[in-house]
Amino acid sequence: DAGVTQSPTHLIKTRGQHVTLRCSPISGHKSVSWYQQVLGQGPQFIFQYYEKEERGRGNFPDRFSARQFPNYSSELNVNALLLGDSALYLCASSFSMDAYNQPQHFGDGTRLSIL
């Protein structure tokens, strides 16, 4: 089975632009979470979606938004890009929201660079 897939792999944008990142979870997984990983730091939680509803939100500005589609894939949108948004954006999926025996599986991430 395919793992979590994210696209694009790399992306270069300029300040003020908008970006959309995409994530396809593992088949059968209904929960998708997004994390931002700044260089040299651990990932920071941005959003969690389950059954197409937002179930958790981290401490990020309203410029960040996301949604989940009926096929459980997800998009992360960032408006008015700032230099500080440069980071690796990770998507993680799991079968349900709270399942110790079904931990989150991560994709390879999208490297976003802001010029």
Partner 1 sequence: AQTVTQSQPEMSVQEAETVTLSCTYDTSESDYYLFWYKQPPSRQMILVIRQEAYKQQNATENRFSVNFQKAAKSFSLKISDSQLGDAAMYFCAYRPKGANSKLTFGKGITLSVRP
55 binds partner 1 (CB under 8 A): yes
The CA angle 45-46-52, to the nearest 5 degrees, is 115
Scored b (16 or more CB within 10 A) or e, 4-20 reads bebeeeeeebeeeeebe
The piece of 13-21, 22-30, 43-51, 66-74 that touches partner 1 (CB under 8 A) is: 43-51
5 binds partner 1 (CB under 8 A): no
The piece of 18-26, 67-75, 76-84, 87-95 that touches partner 1 (CB under 8 A) is: 87-95
What is the rounded CA–CA span in Å between residue 5 and residue 3?
Answer: 6
> Terminal CA-to-CA distance of the chain, rounded, Å?
37
104 binds partner 1 (CB under 8 A): yes
Residues binding partner 1 (CB under 8 A): 31, 33, 35, 40-45, 48, 55-56, 58, 88, 90, 92, 94, 97-100, 103-109, 111
